[in-house]
Amino acid sequence: MTTATIELTPGAPLTLLSEDEQMFQQSVRDFAIEKIRPLVHRMDHDAKMDSDLIKSFFELGIMGIEVPEQYGGAGSTFFTAVLVVEELSHVDASVGVLVDVQNTLVNNAIIRWGTDAQKSRYLGMLAADTVGAYALSEAGSGSDAFALSLKAEDRGDHWLLNGQKLWITNAAEAGVFIIFANANPDAGYKGITAFIVERDFPGFTIGKKEDKTGIRASSTCELILEDCRVPKENVLGEVGKGYKIAIETLNEGRIGIGAQMLGVARGALEYAIAYAKERKQFGKAIADFQGIQFQIAQAATDLEAARLLVYNAARLKDSGRPFLREAAMAKLFSSQVAERVTSISVEIFGGNGYTKEYPVEKFWRDSKIGKIYEGTSNMQLATIAKTILTDKL
């Protein structure tokens, strides 16, 4: 039996969705299955996103979901972006994170903190044909996000940025970067400032691309800034207020990663269910054995719980209500569920699951990053504990 012979049960439960949301979700799902799925194996092997596929994301309108219509975007909601990330990730998590970073981090930051001129120039680009990247991490700045060594020096009519960034998602494809640097190291985190940097700015280059275990088609690269000249008007928000932009944007981004992990778990489980119905041992399908049934039942229950956490956090965000704890819970739990469900799915496939001929091993590899980027699981637990101990449940 090969991957192509496994017939998947269509669709995920349409939990808490309006009729319009269901129709939109289905359209993205169809796109993912028809256009992305045939390319997944090759992109994973080559560790490279298909360039024509990226063009199709812009044509579909999913690279500027919350961007106002006046700038060429869809003018839709954060919840819509979450649905898109889930549907893409249930086919390929690499595609899911490319679109997620574009919408929940880069676009969101410029929508919230950009000047009119910045919005006019950059939101138009990001909605039309330009991939964006969000550059916070450095060699010594991971969970301690504000231990930045990249320096920004005020030169009167421009800034000079010097230093390196590591593990930057979308870096190989991006034309616009939001880069965090410290304009006043003596002030600590209060010197951190966000800058909008274009790929062709003098002194800016893309460095080494990481050879990763999972989400291999998603580029993760080093950024090198050597006297990178950035116009004064490209400061995003206020000088010294970059920490606020980073914190608040990442809170939203964690919901997006929750959606990615939700999609990963769902994609693996769909394959496992289909395989269990087809694979025969002792004269009957393995889906008829209670041991397999209980594993699938537990996985489906965990998946639905993760979906409710992710959807609730996204709805809270759109309604303008506090969502810090809920975002942390959504990312924490969905990443745990993705790791468990993909592992179970590999086991249901048996020896076949441990080969690249079948799709579940890729979902398994892709799941691990969910506990690491945009805040490790320990950082999510710290956030949850802090909000519980200082607030009422």
φ/ψ of residue 190, rounded to 5: -75, 0
| Distance between CA atoms of residues 243 and 246, nearest Å | 5
**Active-site annotation holds for 138:** no
332, 374 Cβ separation under 8 angstroms: no
HSE, CB side, 13 Å, CA atoms: give it for residue 55.
3
199, 175 Cβ separation under 8 angstroms: yes
Work out the number of other CB atoms within 10 angstroms of the CB of residue 11. Answer: 14
Tokens standing for residue 30: 């169809």
Q: Is the dihedral angle over the CA atoms 353, 354, 359, 360 positive or is it negative?
A: positive
108, 85 Cβ separation under 8 angstroms: no
Selected catalytic residue, list 66, 138, 173, 374: 374
Quote the DSSP letter at residue 310: H
- With vertex at residue 323, the alpha carbon angle to CA 322 and CA 325, rounded to the nearest 5 degrees, is 120
Identify each DSSP E strand in 186-264 by its residue range: 192-198, 204-209, 220-231, 235-236
362, 44 Cβ separation under 8 angstroms: yes
List active site positions.
Answer: 374
